Structure formats: structure tokens, C-alpha cells
Amino acid sequence: MMNKTSATLMLQTIMVLMEKQNASDVTNFPGSYGEDIERCYGIYGCFSKAYPWTENRPDNYFPVPPEAMGVRYPTFSRRNRKIPVLLEADNVDKIQNANIDPRGPFYVISHGFIDGGHKKWEVLGLSNLDNFHFIGHSLGAHLGGYCGHALQKKYNLKLGRITGLDPAAPYFSKTVTLVRLDRSDAKYVDVIHSNAVPLYFSGFGITEPIGHVDFYPNGGSTQPGCKSASQQRPSGDIYQQVLRVSCNHERSYEYFTESIAPSCPFLAVQCDSYDTFLAGNCTTCDHKHLCVPMGYHSHDIYKRLHAAELVDTNSNVALYLMTGGAKPYCRAHYEVKMKVSNSSESHTHGPETGKLSITLVDRNNNKSDTRFLDDEQKYYKPGDIETRMVAVKDTGHPPLSVIVEWKYETNLFNPMTWRILKSPSIFIDYMKISSIEYNTDITVCPKMNKPVVANLPTMMKTKYCKFNK
């Protein structure tokens, strides 16, 4: 485990790998008398303390000398999967003799705030960098941006891809593109936002879309399975506090790792906002709502969309999806449209307050996990139509039937929840279940128009809908 200076060390590492900015790139505002605003470090170039590096960034320090950092470049290949070759940034011979196949592909992984990697780029004699994929978490995501910018400026080479895993927000949010990762740094930039909330709410990730595609799993701010800040035990050790609240921040690289060989498509849908997505307003993959798998395989789909002129490399696509709270995280998405019966029996029974849950059953009788349509109890009255997006573990096939349960809780202070002469139940006319991943939909109904009684699972099938006609 790294010590408590790791955050400062990482910031300094990033600064060391910045490229010297020429007069057209920076405005050199004079500092105080006798203050130098530029410092040089041999092959690493010179680093400025002038605009824009100091705009909205109170820390105004030069990087420490490279030899004081102990930066390492462990390199793995098919020939050395377990024991890496340790490259040296200024040792060209060692890089050329590292058994690296120039045909690629190449993956460079850069750590974030409390983790630990980087590698020299330009000595392999490559005509292009299409086969290079830089994967950076947190501060490492912006390091990828610096590398992409420097390669274009110094060698006229453009990286094939940069993946930003919850790029760091402090001192990077709301800055000019030169200071942070942006889509000009590579031919394809994809970003996974998992902790995009302000730092004072224990958020470390950047909020704004900065790539060609930006994924916002579960809204992009907090992730299921991670405790909220209010649930954390207080501690006087700030390092331990960072570790506890970093669950949401670290979930981005866990999603990416799973996306290499996912248990389901990890499909994300273009939508105006996460709330709009949850409301079931973006449930079809079409020209208005593009669908791209989150993570490793997103580039292949993006290239197809670009070839079909459905995306513009100068603009951004924001996509949303839901995940589970434990591995495997991937989930299948369903739009659920439910109508409360408008029958005389339903009117006689009257409105109900409670929660509806569904369990999907496929052709092999495999059941998904059970999901509530709403987290809190909801007031339903005859004739109401509700539409929600839910995500469940994929069974491998689209559903054919649905198990519905009505959860009812009495609240002493809410007369609407009191039941004395009638049993807690709800009359459901139908449920329409539409799959995004499978592009299928079914409509199911309760048998003989019977109500769904509290805590009594009710099987709803398509063939039962004929009784409602």
C-alpha cells in the first residue's frame, strides 16, 4: 500500500510528463520579482507556472526532479505475462530489446490517486499509433490526455484511443482543454463517470462530458454497493477516509475490467439525462437514442456509427445504463409499463399505497433477480399508467412471463396506508415488458383479472391477457 504522500507524488508525476508549452500555447503572465515561471528537466522538457496551468488551481508548484520520483514502467507481453520488463524512459536500447511486437495492440495503464504505471511511447519506429490504447484512472486519465497532446505536438502522431476512468475533478473540472483530457487527445476518447459529484460530497470524478462518448452508469455519481458518505465511520486519518469514500471512484475501472469479457452486453443508451432514462423515455436503439456498450468494446460500435454518419467526431454522445451492486456488474435493461385496472372491482377496492416488484422468467424457467419498480412506496389509483426502467441479471434469454409481488407497509402516521376491512392488494390490468438488449417485448396479465395480494407472488403471462378483453 502506498504511503500518505502518494497523492502529491502522482500530481508531480503528471507534471513531469507535461510537454513544454510554446508561446502560442500559453500566455506568460509575469510573476513577482525574482520568481521563475518555467523550469526544465532534460528530456522531459520545461514546465510553466503561467496560465492556463494556474487558472482555478491554487497549487502552484513545479514538479520535483524526475530522479526523485521513482517512476517505474513495468511492461507485460504474451512472452512475459507474470514478470514484467522494467523499462526506463531515457533508455532506448532497453525498450527496443523488450520483446515488444511492433504490430500491437498496445495497452498502457496509468494509475490514479492511490494506485501505481506508464511507459515510453516514441522509440518503436511506428508509422501511426492506431493500435495504442491508453487507459487511465482518475489523475491517470488526464495523464493520458497530456501524452496524447504531446505526441501530436512533438511527433505529429495521434493516439488511437484513450479511455478515461472517472477522470479526476479537483483542479481539472472547468479548465481549458489543454489542462485536462478531452476528445482532441486521441482519435477516440471514451470516458466512464462513476463518482461525478462535488468534492465536498466525497466526489472525485469530473462531471462534464469530455470524450467522444461519455458513459454515466447509474447516473454517474454514486454506484450501487458503495456506502454513502453518511454511512462511513468517522476517522482522524484522512488517508483511511479517502480509501473508504473511493468505492464509487474506483468502480469505473472495475466496470471497464468486466467489460472485456462481460456477462451481458453492458449496453448504454443515449438520453437527455439519467432521470429521463429511468422514466423509460430512451428504450429503443435508433437514430435519436444511440446504443453503445460501455467499456472495452465501445470503439467497435462507435466506428460503425461513424461510418453510418450517425456520430460526429467533433461532438459528444452521453449515454446511460444501470448496473448491479456486486460482481458481475452487468445488467439487462427492461422498460416496464404497468396499468392499474380501471375495472369496477378496482374502483370498489380504491387506491393503494405500496411497492411493486417483478421477477422475469425465461423460456427455460430461469428467473432473474427481483427488482422494485420504485425504491419507495407509491400511491396507485385505478387507471394509473406507470413506466419505469429496471435492470436485472441476464438469464441468457428474453422473458416469457413475470412474477409480480405487492409489498405493503402500514405507516401509523399515514391514514392512506391503513387497512382494516380489506386486504392490501392492487388490481393490475397489464404489464408490458420491453427489452433493450434483446429488442423484444411482451405483454402479460394476471389470471382471471385477479388482484395481486400483498406478499403473495402472482404469475402473470401473455395467455392470461385474453381474459381481460
Question: Which residues are annotated as catalytic?
Answer: 138, 166, 249
Q: Computed from CA positions of residues 92, 132, 253, 65, in that sequence, does the dihedral angle turn out positive or negative? A: positive
SS3 239: helix
- Assess contact for 188 and 159: CB atoms under 8 A: no
Strands, E, within 76-156: which ranges? 85-87, 106-110, 129-137
- CA–CA gap between residue 335 and residue 356 (Å, rounded): 14
Radius of gyration, CA atoms only, the chain: 27
| Identity of residue 403 | I
C-alpha cell of residue 364: 427455460
Q: Which residue, 179, 143, 165, 157, is CA-closest to 57? A: 179
- Assess contact for 317 and 291: CB atoms under 8 A: no
Q: Computed from CA positions of residues 227, 228, 233, 234, in that sequence, does the dihedral angle turn out positive or negative? A: positive
Give me the helix-helix angle, 238-245 and 247-259, nearest 10°: 40
C-alpha cell of residue 44: 522531459
| Identity of residue 369 | D
- CA–CA gap between residue 340 and residue 384 (Å, rounded): 5
Residue with cell 476512468: 165
